[in-house]
Amino acid sequence: MSTAETTTATRWIVVPDGQSAEPDRALVGGKAWSLWRMASLGLTVPPAFVVTTDACRAYFDGGKTLPDGLIEELRSGIAGLEHKLGRTFGGSENPLLVSVRSGAAVSMPGMMDTILNLGFTDDVEGALAAETGSPEFAAEVNRRFHAFYGQLVLGCVDDLETHESAAAVRNAIRSETGADVPQAPWQQLECAVASVFESSRTRRAIAYRKHHGIPQDLGTAVTIQAMVFGNVDDDSGTGVLFSRNPLSGASEVYGEYLPRGQGEDVVSGRVTPEPLDGLARRSPSVHDELLSAARQLDADGRDAQDIEFTVQHGTLYMLQSRPAKRTARAAVRIAVELVDEGVLTPREALRRVAPAQVATVLRPVVDPDAAASATLIASGTSACPGVASGLAVATPEEAEQIPNAVLVRQNTSPEDVHGMIAAVAVVTETGGATSHAAVVSRALDTPCVVGCADAVADLVGKTVTVDAVSGHIYADELPTVAVDEANDCDLQRLLAWATEFAPITVVADDADAPQPLFDPSATGDFDPDAMPTVPPGTASVAGAIFSRPDALRAALDAGITTVVAPRALPVLLAAIALQEESR
């Protein structure tokens, strides 16, 4: 890895330029690491530098002040971008604008802040208008910057995106906070870096880490990258591409494209983008280049990739590539398919599928006979398959308070995550299959339907059934039917591999288990929260408690070789994972 354009070594920043050794992902975060990876593969990436997670840790350890030397290193990093691009940060000619993006070592999509178009001043607006020949574009970039900065740095609660000009946004910020967006680009940058650090400790980030078992002291790096603009002209746009379908796992690209848009438009769900075919119609050569990059990143990563890109003046720029968040069904299909492609071994494939994902695949589905006679209230696009019934509510707070609630929103934002975690299903009026609601729901494996027009008015206050397999929402609670795992070819192949590699055997009936058999739930003093003590000489164990990793670990440590369970694959996968941990 290289330091910024300077003759002295840097302590707090790294340049992921792809020309040197692989940087430490824990130090630079997943986003900057992916920039290095894409650049090293020869893909076109806007230049960037990254403020490390060490700096984030020092920021909090030092009483929430930027650590000594970081301000000088920020100037060094910007100087490197200026040198590469022939632009000037805050300049009245050829201005340099940057994005300031969060990026933890573990992917947390949508949980922390990103600020676009930073470095904007009144002089920059005039220079950008002159350079592009479009005062309207320059004014729109100015408006967007002020909206980002007002909400994410100055803490405005008002929805600043509803204001039509930068002046209106500034007035709204001043009215709510009494503060102004600084005209000094360096002050903007320093405050934005601190704000991104702070976003690692917001309620939504804490809730996400807790839900996924991610350490709370993870922190974040901050990637500072030269802006490219998808909203500058008709030959520009932005989008998200999955190298494999994140819903089904099929080996087919899956994505969306928004002409004349910026990435935040797609992710926020405010606008519903068009299918990726739209890019193929508008610019076949760019579309072909994008698909080639997706295949390259999929092969290099040995996994399905979630790719963010922008097209500016007909040139494709890659902004990020990371392992795709996927549904449980997709996780199973992708793991099996990668074995068929010779990318993974069967043992490696088993590591890619969690026991909980198998349980999710086997969740019941809506009874087709009941659906045929049910009242259809709304329809949209499936963003994460599954079925759930409950009372439709309009706020994340209600979703936390009311058991089995269905959260219905116009669109979701990071501020809704605590409600999304609590809800049994999520429905949005706008947004596509790569929107915030879709990506977060897939990470949570929560049934989600997006693009349901008038959903808030039609659904809130009613008991509904969300069939996120079909994208339909029905009145009342509908019955479900069980899924037979014997009819699922992918699960059967995983089961065969797991049976070969697992340190235990799983049988479905007590009568098939070697004796003596121990079932703690059959004892008079059974405590479901306690760790079971397996009696000496026991040959087999039974009971739902052994679906818990700690209880299964106790059984393995006691020398147990047979477990009685209604479904074998989740137990076998858990046993394999515990065996590998012990190695």
The CATH number of whichever domain residue 30 belongs to comes to 3.30.1490.20
Measured N-to-C along each axis, helices 135-152 and 166-177 cross at an angle, to the nearest 10 degrees, of 20
Residue 152 located in a structural domain: no
Q: Does 508 reside within a domain?
A: yes
Walking along the chain (583 residues) 10 residues at a time, the average pLDDT comes out as 50 87 93 96 97 96 96 97 96 95 86 92 93 95 94 89 91 94 96 96 89 88 97 95 95 94 79 90 97 98 96 97 93 98 97 92 91 94 93 96 96 90 95 87 91 91 95 95 89 97 96 94 81 93 91 95 94 95 82
User: What pLDDT is attached to residue 498?
Assistant: 97
pTM here is: 0.85
Task: Give the CATH number, domain containing residue 348.
Answer: 1.10.189
- Per-residue pLDDT tens for 223-278? 999 999 999 999 999 999 999 999 999 999 999 999 999 877 887 777 888 999 99
Examine the domain organization and report whether 370 and 475 are in the same domain. yes
Q: What is the DSSP string of 520-567?
A: GGGSTT--TTSPP-PPTT--EEESGGGGSHHHHHHHHHTT--EEE-S-
Same domain (yes/no): 463, 489:
no
Per-residue model confidence (pLDDT) at position 432:
86
107 shares its domain with 215: yes
Indicate the residue among 498, 533, 551 that finishes a domain. Answer: 498
Domain identity same for 313 and 389: no
Say if residue 466 is in the same domain as residue 410.
yes
Count how many domains the chain has: 5
Residues 380 and 439 in one domain: yes
Lookup result for tokens 């992902």: 25
Q: Respond yes or no on whether the N-terminal peptide bond of residue 16 is cis (omega within 30° of 0).
A: no
Residues 428 and 316 in one domain: no
Bridge-based pairing state of the strands 448-450 and 425-428:
parallel
pLDDT of residue 8: 52
The answer to the question of residue 156 being in a domain is: no
Cβ–Cβ contacts within 10 Å for residue 211, how many? 15
Q: Are strands 425-428 and 48-51 parallel, antiparallel or unpaired?
A: unpaired
| Domain match, 26 and 116 both | yes
Domain of residue 299, CATH code? 3.30.470.20
CATH number, domain at 371?
Answer: 3.50.30.10
Tell me, yes or no, whether 221 and 250 share the same domain.
no
β-pairing verdict for 98-103 and 448-450 = unpaired
Closest among 237, 369, 242 to 303, alpha carbons compared: 242
Q: Which domain holds residue 352?
A: 328-361+483-498
Statement to judge: residues 217 and 73 lie in one domain: yes
Same domain, 411 and 527: no
302 and 353 share one domain: no
